[in-house]
Amino acid sequence: MLRALKASQYLSKFGWQPIVLSVNPMAYPETNSSQLKDIPSDVNVVRTFGLDIRKHFSICGRYPEFMESPDRWWTWRFSAVPSALKLIKENDIKAIWSTFPISTAHEIAFRVHSETGIPWVADFRDSMTEENYPVSRRIWTSRREIEKKSVLNARFSVFTSPSTLSMYAERYPEIDRNNWKLIYNGYDESDFSMIDESKISSDGSGGAKMLVHSGILYREDRNPLPFFQALSELKAIDLISSDNIHITLRASGNDDEYALVLEELDICDLIELGTPIPYQDALNEMMSSDGLLLFQGASCNHQIPAKVYEYFRANKQILALADTQGDTAKVLRKVGVSEIVDISNVEEIKAMLVRFINDEDSEKRLPEREEVVKFSRYSQVETLSNILDQAIL
């Protein structure tokens, strides 16, 4: 959501006036209106009818798999296509920009582009399909069909990491290499400017160092279990206690499961499983910390978590548990972050935590400000505007 929101805020500074076509609120599993105020007053947002298959057609939480192909919101296209054509008729539309991870958005853009001939930029962000993703072959086939139509017909296809771009360039060698574009996610300086650093919240943890992870922790791709094990072993030999460290896992998405593990490993006093909080409060929590945790397994080597860029701007020590050859590790090194250990290696994690607690060279581990500014949202939207300019030539 933030990628599109920030584009709507800044595109007009580069000569583009966005009109946003989205779906009606009833299509969302849940809603939060806290950021509606961030939509610029001159941006027209059109919301059309669409349903969530899981929400509106399931019985006791179950529904036939074929109804979720290519995604749960495919009904949106029936209202979105005619609405898009109407907007084009009424406005001087020069380009179409569609953005994943909702496959149906690219399907809608394809149909509108096919009917109007207006240049189209398809923002994939991450991969739409991989060898075994999605697991369902029906959904995989449906998504691969949309993916192929998109890359063959869009003027440019955009990704958020170099490895995903390379993956698609190899998958579709018939497409001109110049048609693949990279736009990183980023942080927005205005979000941080609203934080009064003199009022950054106090956690009440005494002398303990505060370590925060903000966002979902998937067992498959961001497995925290080796991290939990490392904490347990350090606690057993009195190198870690609640007196010297307090860890918050904010909105992990798997609190019930992890709570049982923490109890089993006797580290409940070290880790707080925090509930979701508003975005601005989450930034405040990052700014209040002594360090920021990052988890990214080797299975996601071609992806970069969006939170990385907010971590950069928070200017805190980043403790990264990731594969050293992945895109996440590479972008961390771009800004001078060297504290990267194998997410599955308990011994390496233990050593990293001891260094953090002992404050060894902490100032040397901070992101380099001159490199961080290159990942601002403003800078990334400027790149998008340049791509749109090229698309209409």
- Residue among 56, 111, 101, 100 nearest 78 (CA): 111
Does one domain contain both 87 and 210? no
User: Which range, of 169-178, 188-197, 342-351, 372-381, averages the lowest pLDDT?
Assistant: 188-197
Q: For residue 16, is pLDDT > 80? A: yes
- Whole-prediction pTM value? 0.86
Amino acid at 92: D
Neighbouring C-alpha atoms within 13 Å toward the C-beta of 200: 15
Does one domain contain both 126 and 198? no
- Tens of pLDDT, residues 345-382: 999 999 999 999 988 666 667 899 999 999 999 999 99
Number of structural domains the chain divides into: 2
Does one domain contain both 206 and 149? no
Q: Choose between 88 and 194: higher pLDDT.
A: 88
For residue 5, the SS3 value is: helix
Residue 200: pLDDT band (50, 70, 90) is low
Round to whole Å and give the CA distance between 32 and 12.
Answer: 26
Cis amide leading into 18 (omega within 30): no
Q: For residue 41, is pLDDT > 70? A: yes
Q: For residue 268, is pLDDT > 60? A: yes
Interval 44-71 mean pLDDT: 88
Amino acid at 219: R
Q: Choose between 221 and 86: higher pLDDT.
A: 86
Does one domain contain both 171 and 315? no
Does one domain contain both 178 and 268? no
Does one domain contain both 222 and 330? yes
CATH number at residue 159: 3.40.50.2000
Does one domain contain both 47 and 94? yes
Round to whole Å and give the CA distance between 89 and 87.
Answer: 5
Does one domain contain both 28 and 159? yes
- Residue among 79, 156, 89 nearest 116 (CA): 89
Q: Which two tokens stand for residue 100?
A: 């994943």
Whole-number percent of the chain with pLDDT over 90: 82
Does one domain contain both 20 and 165? yes
What's the pLDDT score for residue 364? 61
Does one domain contain both 325 and 314? yes
Does one domain contain both 43 and 176? yes
What's the pLDDT score for residue 17? 97
- Residue among 240, 241, 281, 274 nearest 258 (CA): 274
Round to whole Å and give the CA distance between 255 and 224.
Answer: 12
User: Count of residues for the chain?
Assistant: 393
Helix (H) and strand (E) counts for the chain? 15, 12
Expressed as residue numbers, the domain containing 128 is 2-186+377-391
Q: Which residues contact 158 (CB under 8 A, 6 or more apart)?
A: 121, 122, 123, 124, 125, 181, 182, 183, 384, 387
Interval 175-199 mean pLDDT: 86
Q: For residue 197, is pLDDT > 70? A: no
Chain center to CA of 266: 32
Note whether 99 and 131 are within 8 A (CB): no
Q: For residue 199, is pLDDT > 70? A: no
User: Which range, of 55-69, 205-219, 246-260, averages the lowest pLDDT?
Assistant: 55-69
Round to whole Å and give the CA distance between 356 and 362.
Answer: 7
Does one domain contain both 144 and 226? no
Q: Which two tokens stand for residue 146?
A: 């949309």
Q: Which residues contact 90 (CB under 8 A, 6 or more apart)?
A: none
Q: For residue 204, is pLDDT > 80? A: no
Q: Which two tokens stand for residue 255?
A: 């609190």
CB atoms within 10 A of CB 173: 7
